[in-house]
Amino acid sequence: MTDQTAAIPALAPLRKGRGTVDWGEVILNGYLLLFFAWMFLPLILMVLAAFNANPTPSATEWQGFTLEWFARLPQDERFMQGLAHSLIIAAGVIATAIPMGLAGALILSRMQSRANTFLYTLLVSPVLTPGIVLGATTMIFWRDLFGVQAGLFTTIMAQAAFIAAYCMLMFMARLQRQDRVLEEAALDLGASPFFAFRRVTLPFLMPTVLTAAFIAFLQSIENYNTTFFAIGGSWTLVTEIGSRMRFGLSPMINAIGVIFIAITVIVAVTHTLVIRKRK
Amino acid sequence: MDGLYRSFGRPLTFGLFVTVALWLFGLILLPQLSMIQRAFQVEDRGGVSAQLSVEIEKLYVRQFEIDQQLRAIEQPAAAQPTAPSPFAPSVGGAPAAPSPNDPFAGLSAGKAPAADPVETEKKRQALIAERADVVARIGELEARESGPAAVDLRYSLENFTSMTAVHFQIFIATLFYALCVTVLAFLVCYPVAYAVAMAGTPDRAALLLLALVIPYAINELLRIFAWVMILERQGLINSVLDWLGIIDFAAGEGFRFVASNGAVFAVMVYAYVLFMVFPIYNTVETLDRNQIEAARDLGASTWRIHTRIVIPHAKPGIAVGAIMTFMLSAGSIAVPEIVGRGMHPDWFSQVIYRRFFEADSWNEGAAYSLSLLAACMVFILAVMAVFKVGIRDIAR
């Protein structure tokens, strides 16, 4: 407290004078630069190593440019099989999480009840639960009650539990912005509630359905912690990458990394440009 | 309820409730309950089960003896009639020859020419009857052994209390490290979130945000992998640890300890730091900048502006960021598995994994998972209390 009061006279004049250098700003910018260097440098090194002929991934011991590691990917059966598993799981998760999230959002935004917050807490709880716990509970539940061994199905169930919550939050945000007048008008003009829902509310939610499906897809493909427990003897692309990393480094992982990064950058840049255009 | 019926009609409302119930019970509550049930359940296979297996073992021995005796009786008898049968097809292709695949066909054929027919037959019948009895008894006992009756199921706290000192230490250490990661992530992130939120022009803000979104969206494993490369190959590990040494493991812990856990710790901060940036950014962005200007004009120091205006406004964001970072790092299995390579002291998530998949002790695994979950819940409640935010502010 005491050094705060001491700092006031020293800093205040700096701020007041428009012409002088704003050292606070300079420090902050320098810090930002450091931060982003810290974020991006490791990734850049990883990308470089993907094109290095050196069979142990390295960005410094350069042994010539090569695309070999990319060419090897389609021939690797476990990677390809894992990719197929990942896509199956993602499709299953989208098919499960979107209706659940939508139903949860519709009920929570229209139900005036004391149970509302309680239900909300329960439905959102998987987001706040460690991934490995979700995976473990799902694995135990399906084996103990139905004798279903851990595999693709249990992974879908485990992932859907928390991805549905993300979807629900997105739908709730959209529903908050809904102008209820149209729906009321449809109901007043004699439309059945189901008809009004199908022709008014659902079209309004449609863009969010697409966004939520996309987010659910990404979340599912990228998930490691939950999948690691729920997948049992099977594997997905990401768990396969994980187990390869544990048993030694290979530039093929760098090659996959480059593909992931390229997709991420393209999607993120497109998204930003689209948003800017709309504004 | 009325609002729901009015909006959606009864059938649709019903459908919505069924869907939510499936989610709530099928994916969230019942799995949790089955984990909790296992966590408090002790399977004692000691008493009853051991007796059963001894008995079954004895019966198998008896069955073997009977088989031996039967063979001794049948061998001389069966040798005569069955001897020609293998040749039968080659000789005359006799269709009536007993099939070699059917042992009983051979037996019945061997009865007639036996040396001492009456005595042997009596003994043989007795043995066959006893054998059938033994087989039936084995089946019955084996069913009991695998059935629930043999396992002495008890509910107790044993799975928790039997946690060894080493595991408990790992548990506490994991929580401590997760807490450190959270605090460090906040210190690193707050200026970044503030700078991005207060960016001068919209273009600059969009660019900075993009620069945050890209690493955020890149798979956790790949970002960890990038660091594994650095730590392993480039020898940057020393400088990184130097940099870390200031913050966490000061002198006294020894270099070896730093070399192992420090790496896991550093990568964890890197991997989860962005989960702190976005929630804080989201809240700081809504702050009215005039408040800062006003405070500045009234002579408030930078420190004071942050502690009295920006941070109080960003409380919900900080709470969310802290919860996410803590939860992710306490439950992280990717970082310790990949960076640690088994050469550093375990992370609690790895202990849980081994309980399930290597020790094959699901009950203990469930108890350990439940402990982790409970620790996270305590942390969430503590954060909510300290920052005075509700659940609605947290999950948005």
Is the pLDDT assigned to residue B256 strictly greater than 60? Answer: no
Nearest to A130 among B4, B296, B331 (CB): B331
Residue range B5-34: average pLDDT?
84
B363 touches chain A (CB under 8 A): no
Q: What is the pLDDT of residue B85?
A: 42
To test the contact with chain B by mutation, choose from A137, A176, A178, A258 the residue with the greatest count of B C-beta atoms within 10 A, namely A137
Cβ–Cβ under 8 Å, residues A221 and A138:
no
Give B240's contacts in chain A (Cβ within 8 Å): none
Single-letter residue type at B247: I
B151 closest CA partner among B77, B241, B45, B245:
B45
Indicate the range of A205-209, A221-225, B159-163 predicted with least confidence. B159-163
Contact B395, A124 (CB under 8 A): yes
**pLDDT band at residue B115 using 50, 70 and 90 as cut-offs:** low
How far apart are the C-alpha atoms of B186 and B193, rounded to whole Å? Answer: 10
Which of A129, A136, A228 lies closest to B365 in CB terms?
A136
Q: CA nearest B163: which of B337, B359, B335? A: B359
Q: What is the pLDDT of residue B105?
A: 43
Separation between Cα atoms, residue B181 and residue A81, nearest integer Å:
36
pLDDT at B345 over 70: no
CB within 8 Å: A106 and B34: no
Q: Tokens 């402990």 sit at which residue?
A: B371
Mutate to test the interface with A, among B13, B18, B212, B222 (most CBs of A within 10 A): B222
| Residue B211 near residue B295, CB atoms below 8 Å | no
Cβ under 8 Å to A: B residues 198-217:
202, 206, 208-211, 213-215, 217
B301 contacts A132? CB cut-off 8 A: no
pLDDT tens digits along B317-339 = 899 899 989 999 888 888 887 77
Of B288 and B75, which is predicted with more confidence?
B288
- A-contacting residues of B 136-175, CB under 8 Å? none
Mutate to test the interface with A, among B153, B219, B220 (most CBs of A within 10 A): B219
Q: Are B279 and B192 in contact (CB under 8 A)?
A: no
Contact B192 A276 (CB under 8 A): no
Which residues in B287-352 belong to E strands, given as ranges?
A: none
A186-to-A181, A208, B11 alpha-carbon distances in Å: 9, 22, 18
pLDDT band at B204 (very low <50, low <70, confident <90, very high): confident
Pairwise CB contact (< 8 Å): B228 & A117: no
CB B378 within 8 A of CB B385: no
The contacts of residue A69 (CB under 8 Å, 6+ apart) are A50, A51, A250, A251, A252, A254, A255
Higher-confidence residue of B190 and B121: namely B190
Question: Considering CB atoms only, which of B29, B188, B225 is closest to A245?
Answer: B225
| A253 touching B (Cβ < 8 Å) | yes
Closest CA to A223 of A18, A125, A85: A85
pLDDT at residue A158 in the model? 92
pLDDT of residue A58: 65
Q: Spell out which residues of chain A touch residue B229, defining contact as CB-CB under 8 Å.
A: 42, 45-46, 49, 57-59, 249
Tokens 């001897």 belong to which residue?
Answer: B83
Measured CA to CA, the distance from residue A226 to residue A246 in angstroms comes to 18
Three-class SS state of B42: strand
Q: For residue A165, what pLDDT is reported?
A: 92
Judged against a pLDDT cut of 80, whether residue B261 lies above it is answered with no
B contact test, residue of A2, A25, A46 with most B CBs within 10 A: A46
Mean pLDDT confidence for A61-86 = 83
What confidence tier does A201 reach under pLDDT thresholds 50, 70, 90? confident
Q: Determine the length of chain B.
A: 396
Chain A, nearest residue to B202 by Cα: A276
pLDDT (0 to 100) of residue A47: 87
* pLDDT beyond 50 at A2: no
Mean pLDDT of chain B: 75
- Determine the average pLDDT of the residues in B273-278: 89
**Chain-wide mean pLDDT for chain A?**
82
Is A63 within 8 Å of chain B by CB? no
Residue type, A205: L
pLDDT at B220: 85
Of A187-201, A262-276, B308-322, where does mean pLDDT reach its minimum?
Answer: A187-201
Q: Is the model more confident about A122 or about B258?
A: A122
The alpha carbon of residue B209 is apart from the nearest alpha carbon of chain A, in Å, by: 9
With CA atoms as reference, the chain B residue closest to A159 would be B27
A112 pLDDT more than 80: no
Provide, rounded to the nearest whole percent, the portion of chain B with pLDDT above 70: 74
Q: Looking at residues B311-319, what average pLDDT do you find?
A: 88
Per-residue burial over B347-370, b if 16 or more Cβ lie within 10 Å, else e, is bbbbbbbbbbbeeebbbbbbbbbb
Which residues of chain A make contact with B206, given a CB cutoff of 8 A? 272, 275-276
**Contact with chain B for residue A50, Cβ under 8 A:** no
Tell which B residues from 285 to 304 touch A, by Cβ distance under 8 Å: 296, 299-304
Model confidence at B96: pLDDT above 60: no
Using 50, 70 and 90 to split pLDDT, how confident is the model at B47?
Answer: low
B34 Cα to chain A: minimum distance (Å): 6
* Model pTM above 0.90: no
- Tell me whether residues B222 and A141 touch, CB distance under 8 A: no
Indicate whether B176 pLDDT > 80.
Answer: yes
A56 pLDDT higher than 60: yes
Give residue B101's pLDDT. 47
How much is the pLDDT for B72?
Answer: 80
Output the CA torsion sign for B309, B314, B319, B323: negative
Taking CB atoms and an 8 Å cutoff, what residues of chain B touch A83? none
Q: Is the pLDDT of residue A166 over 50?
A: yes
pLDDT for position A38: 87
- pLDDT-based confidence at residue A115 (cuts at 50, 70, 90): confident
Give yes or no for residue B119 having a pLDDT over 60.
yes
Distance of CA B85 to the CA centre of its chain: 61
pLDDT for the residue numbered A182: 80
> Are residues A136 and A227 in contact, defined by beta-carbon separation less than 8 angstroms?
no
A215 touches B: beta carbon within 8 Å: no
For residue A8, the surrounding DSSP H or E stretch is helix A2-16
**Helix ranges restricted to H, A115-151:** 115-124, 131-146
